[in-house]
């Protein structure tokens, strides 16, 4: 939780420091370049977010091709946008809306699912659940005795 708060404070302060240093070093031309770089950085993040969400609109909510592969690719600390980019689908919200931690679930065609816990937008834990395999009658019966 502390890391997220630090990031919320650090980015605006670093932006202001960049503009001030640019002004002191290069005058108004430096300010123009620094502001241009900041706008470019914001546009890159906005474009990536829009691209991820555009891909997610074509898929059902909470669906993933393979829950097992998603489970293998997840790492603690990645943000929700990164997980949505990996799954190419929005997760199904399992927890109550606007509460912490947030729980999202992605399910595949075999009914296996991964439930991910996010705190302040960062992945904390996840769990893969696979459905119980039905017992096949042909493999449980002993072979017939030989005549």
Where does the chain show beta strands of DSSP type E?
Answer: 92-93, 102-107, 113-119, 122-129
The reported pTM is 0.76
Whether pLDDT at 130 is above 50: yes
35-50 pLDDT, tens per residue? 999 999 999 999 999 9
| Beta bridge partners of residue 105, listed in sequence order | 92, 115
Contact, 87 vs 106, CB < 8 A?
yes
What is the pLDDT confidence band of residue 135, given thresholds at 50, 70 and 90? low
Could you say which DSSP state residue 79 is in?
A: B
The conformational region for residue 113 under phi > 0 = left, psi -120 to 50 = alpha, else beta, is beta
Contact, 112 vs 68, CB < 8 A?
yes
In the prediction, which pLDDT does 58 show? 87
Hey, what are 54's tokens?
């555009």
In the prediction, which pLDDT does 136 show? 62
- % the chain with pLDDT above 90: 77
3-37 pLDDT, tens per residue? 557 777 998 999 999 999 999 999 999 999 999 99
């Amino acid at each position: 939780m502390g890391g997220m708060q630090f990031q919320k404070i650090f980015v605006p302060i670093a932006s202001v420091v960049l503009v001030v240093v640019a002004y002191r070093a290069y005058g108004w031309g430096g300010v123009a370049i620094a502001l241009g770089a900041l706008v470019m950085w914001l546009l890159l993040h906005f474009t990536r977010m829009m691209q991820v969400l555009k891909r997610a609109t074509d898929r059902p909510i909470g669906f993933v091709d393979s829950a097992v592969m998603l489970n293998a690719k997840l790492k603690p600390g990645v943000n929700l946008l990164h997980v949505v980019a990996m799954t190419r689908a929005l997760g199904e919200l399992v927890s109550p809306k606007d509460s912490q931690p947030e729980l999202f679930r992605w399910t595949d065609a075999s009914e296996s699912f991964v439930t991910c816990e996010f705190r302040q937008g960062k992945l904390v834990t996840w769990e893969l659940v696979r459905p119980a395999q039905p017992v096949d009658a042909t493999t449980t019966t002993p072979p017939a005795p030989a005549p």
